[in-house]
Amino acid sequence: MKKTSTVGKSNRTVMVLLILGLSTIVFPLYMTVVIAFKQPSEMTNSISGILSLPKVWSLNNFKEAMEVTDFWNSLKNSLLISVLTVGLSILIHSLMGYALGRNKSSKFYNFIYLFIVSGMFVPFAILMMPLAKQTAEMGLANWGGVILLYVVFYMPMNIMLYSGYLTNIPLALEEAARVDGASTWRTYWEIIFPIMKPMHATVAVITALAVWNDVMTPLIIMAGSSENTLPLAQLNFQSQFGTNYNLAFASYLLSLIPILVFYVICQKQILNGVVNGAVK
């Protein structure tokens, strides 16, 4: 009887924690949606005025936000940078993760692995100004330079995930392929690469989220360029519309939709990839 009451108390504690955790997600989302549909005249200093539902549900804020941010052009640039970065990251980082993960017994490869992974601890603020100067001198102060930097920035994390995931793939598969006469290159592309599909999805989502929401890198590298990503275009609301949060939140919702759809498509593979990738 005592054991049953203990289990019941534990379940109630878990439910309370889940509700608290859910509220940290639902409440900001509710505020974003409500403010995006409200008119500036409905925004008051009182808490009830901020939390209340809009009197009229109108899409005018979204229409005006799209005009201010040049939405379709900015969306095109963000999609281009995100898609190319994710594609290059999966191809390059999976190859490097495979090469380093299968040769960790070698001191040389293990040193290279640790050296690359240690890049996660280098703050972007330290690299910001040297990178801005170097990319400008190399003619890479554009979206191409931003993509190149993203591929390098997310290399440490992605290689660590790929190398960890490889520990779940038995060497017997590669040995059997070699017995059948397959080269290392063919073995990787026809056996290992397809098996790592869950980790590809995980890397794609993690990289896409980071790239999609990043402001600092495009702001530093593409300074003076007429091309804007969505986060850069949304900076307009901090100056020209500094007090009009309705347009800003409408723009945030619009930029949320593409990455949310991408996450929903890949979510089935994410949990398996993260769990297995964390196993050393």
Q: What is the per-residue pLDDT for 89?
A: 95
Across residues 43-67, what is the average pLDDT? 77
Using 50, 70 and 90 to split pLDDT, how confident is the model at 8?
low
Across residues 271-279, what is the average pLDDT? 51
Average pLDDT of the chain, as a whole number: 82
Q: What is the per-residue pLDDT for 60?
A: 86
CA 15 to chain centre: 29
- Tell me the per-residue pLDDT of 117-147, one tens digit each, with 9 for 90 and over: 998 888 888 888 888 888 888 888 888 889 9
Q: Where are the alpha helices (DSSP H) in the chain?
A: 2-37, 47-51, 60-68, 71-101, 107-117, 124-137, 143-153, 155-166, 171-179, 184-187, 193-195, 197-213, 216-221, 230-233, 245-277
Residue 191 CA to residue 135 CA, distance in Å, equals 38
Q: What is the per-residue pLDDT for 45?
A: 59
For residues 231 and 244, the model is more confident at 231
Does residue 245 sit in helix, strand or coil? Answer: helix
Structure tokens at 58: 């109108």
Q: What is the per-residue pLDDT for 270?
A: 62
- Tell me the per-residue pLDDT of 191-239, one tens digit each, with 9 for 90 and over: 899 888 888 988 998 899 899 988 888 888 887 667 788 888 887 776 6
For residues 270 and 127, the model is more confident at 127
Residue 169 CA to residue 274 CA, distance in Å, equals 15
Residue 276 CA to residue 147 CA, distance in Å, equals 28
Instruction: Check if the beta carbon of residue 109 is closer than 8 Å to that of residue 96.
Output: no
Closest CA to 152 of 239, 202, 211: 211
Using 50, 70 and 90 to split pLDDT, how confident is the model at 279?
very low
Residue 254 CA to residue 66 CA, distance in Å, equals 9
